[in-house]
Amino acid sequence: MIVTSQPSEFSELLEQARRAGRTVGLHPTMGALHAGHAANVRRAALECDLAAVTIFVNPLQFGPGEDFEAYPRDLGVDLELAEAAGAGVVFCPSTEAMYGRSPLVTVGVKGLAERWEGARRPGHFDGVATVVTKLFALAGPCTAYFGEKDYQQLVVVRRLVEDLSLPVRVEACPTVREADGLALSSRNRYLGPEEREEAPGLYWALLAGKRAIEEQGVADAALVVEEMHRAVRRQPLVELEYAAVVSPEDLEPVDEVSGPARLLIAGRVGLARLIDNVAAEKEDA
């Protein structure tokens, strides 16, 4: 596995691979890698000839008072995990290398990026879109793997690729969970033992909403959201921020569920702000 912090070397390695007829799979990350990232890298390595991982804690996507400074960083452990999962190249640039001069040009995302996470974290998706555009520009044509855990990010990245005609195919990777349902996240490290016990409550609430739609045939989204709120209240350490039933494509809230929908949830558990989501589908009556 080749590790580089130089943008030009990263580009050159991937370009050389393509010139040799090899396909490139890219998994952008902020490090603090866990089994969810490992599964995504393994998939990239299985489906492409060269799997490249990027590790960069992107300051542009953190707002004031968020956890940019505290965000876990352990490059040595990350490199071991990436290599074991089959990465051939890891790109871990410094902030200086990525944003040497404070950028005058950034990528702005309207509409769907202003809802849900975007409403709670103003500027977050502009920061994500800017760094992802830079990483795609450096990587060149590739298949990029993004986790469904950050569902809104996945939808934003798909739109970014479509609207800017970038030579990238985006693949969604299923969320990896602990045995009790908690979605793997680098931010789970902020949970204390009691908080860790209750944190899967967000997922259990999503399942309650999914059951309401799929097993009890509830179509009224307000009732589904009520069901999710009721489920979260069983975990007093979970402070709900939002629970919503949305269209899977544009994340607009739906009033009546018919066909496929996405259930979104976000909440705070102690110092950790966690998000999760599941698909749900209402069969025709």
Instruction: Give the binding range for ligand PAF (CB under 6 A) out of 99-107, 126-134, 198-206, 267-275.
Output: 126-134
Q: What residues between 2 and 41 interact with ligand PAF by CB under 6 A?
A: 28-30
Given candidates 40, 58, 152, 235, which one binds ligand PAF under the rule CB under 6 A? Answer: 58
Shortest distance in whole angstroms from residue 11 CB to ligand PAF: 18
Strands 50-55 and 272-282: unpaired
Shortest distance in whole angstroms from residue 117 CB to ligand PAF: 11
Q: Which amino acid is at 101?
A: R
Using rule CB under 6 A, residue 131 touches ligand PAF: yes
Using rule CB under 6 A, residue 168 touches ligand PAF: no
Using rule CB under 6 A, residue 175 touches ligand PAF: no
Shortest distance in whole angstroms from residue 21 CB to ligand PAF: 28
Shortest distance in whole angstroms from residue 51 CB to ligand PAF: 15
The reply to whether 34 belongs to the active site is no
Q: Among residues 204, 243, 202, 203, which one has the least CA distance to residue 226? A: 243
**Token pair for 140:** 């060149």
Q: Which residues bind ligand PAF (CB under 6 A)?
A: 28-30, 58, 61, 128, 131-132, 150, 153
Residues designated as active site: 37
